[in-house]
Amino acid sequence: MVRIDAALPFAFGFDPAATALVVIDMQRDFIEPSGFGETLGNDVSLLQAIVPTTAAMLAFCRAKGMTVIHTRECHRPDLSDLPSSKRDRGTPRLRIGDHGPMGRILVAGEEGAEIIPELAPITGELVIDKPGKGAFYATSLAEYLAENRISKLILAGVTTEVCVQTTMREANDRGYDCLLIEDATESYFPEFKRVTLEMIRAQGGIVGWTARFAQLERAWHD
């Protein structure tokens, strides 16, 4: 049993054998220059800043034998799983499904939809392609967690207030305890990240817990 006493709002304990690391949407279209995120007017360097910590945590959890899951937000080539309520927002230069610098934006199989090389999945790690913001909607994640007797989740990825928080809320409703690693998640809007972290751990951890990677690492070695 690992216990992170420094976690907020209070200590978070977990059995590594019954816990999965979920790395959310660390994709080229969100992280790299000229990707979808940048075409929307965002500063992708904010998201790039968490790559070293996320990579270190990924390597650490792999070395400990923890279950690792990756997610990618992407759609079928025919866009049959892309509702207009998601595609037709605002007046962006490019929309989901359009041809961008790294292929069709957020379409499965295209370069931009792939996970960045620094965090690429290895053999045996589950990769979930999700058409929505949350990792449970229209995916096999719930079944996989049940089959592998996973009861707690440690999360990283982007963006904090959208796909990460949505996944945490979905998980919470399904009975999973969730810990978000603060320095392995980021937003294009720093204030959104700050407020989301507060929301997650408000009212005694209404959505879950937060901690920094060093605190997780230290607790595992203690």
Residues 157, 24: contact at Cβ < 8 Å? Answer: yes
CA contacts within 13 A on the Cβ side of 199 = 14
Which residues, 6 or more positions from 148, have their beta carbon under 8 angstroms from its beta carbon? Answer: 20, 67
Active site residue 129: no
Note if 61 is an active site residue. Answer: no
Choosing from 61, 74, 129, 130, which is the catalytic residue?
130
Q: Compute the radius of gyration of the chain from its Cα atoms.
A: 17
130 as an active site residue: the answer is yes
Indicate which residue of 25, 29, 129, 183 is catalytic: 25
Residue type for 134, please?
G
* Sign, Cα dihedral of 70, 181, 141, 84: negative
Q: Catalytic one among 29, 61, 152, 163?
A: 163
Catalytic residues: 25, 130, 163
